[in-house]
Amino acid sequence: MALNTKQFGELHPEVAENLNSLGLIEKHRGEYDLAIEHIKRAIDIIEQVFDPEHNKIAAFANNLADVYSIMAKYSAATELYKRYVIR
């Protein structure tokens, strides 16, 4: 992460991809709070770099909603699906 951030800068799509991937790994390890933190950061970057309709936003939001679902935070998951995925 540090290398990509240094090479590309904080607001680069590659950094967002890596954060999302890290979040997915953390999800599978059961480290849900870290997964949420990293995937949210990935979404923030993509929202700043691309237009609001970019497919990466929906993909990352879907990943975040999956984490919330695993944690039984269904209202948070539903909100993400409504905001980003189902349009």
The pLDDT, as a whole number, for residue 83 is: 83
pTM (2 decimals)? Answer: 0.86
Q: Residue-wise pLDDT tens for the chain (87 aa)?
A: 555 555 555 677 999 999 999 999 999 999 999 999 999 999 999 999 998 788 899 999 999 999 999 999 999 999 998 887 676
Task: Count CB neighbours of 82 within 10 A.
Answer: 11
Instruction: Name the residue type at position 29.
Output: R
Owning domain of residue 26: 2-85
Count the domains in the chain: 1
Whichever domain contains 44, its CATH number is: 1.25.40.10
- The CA distance from 67 to 71, in Å, is 6
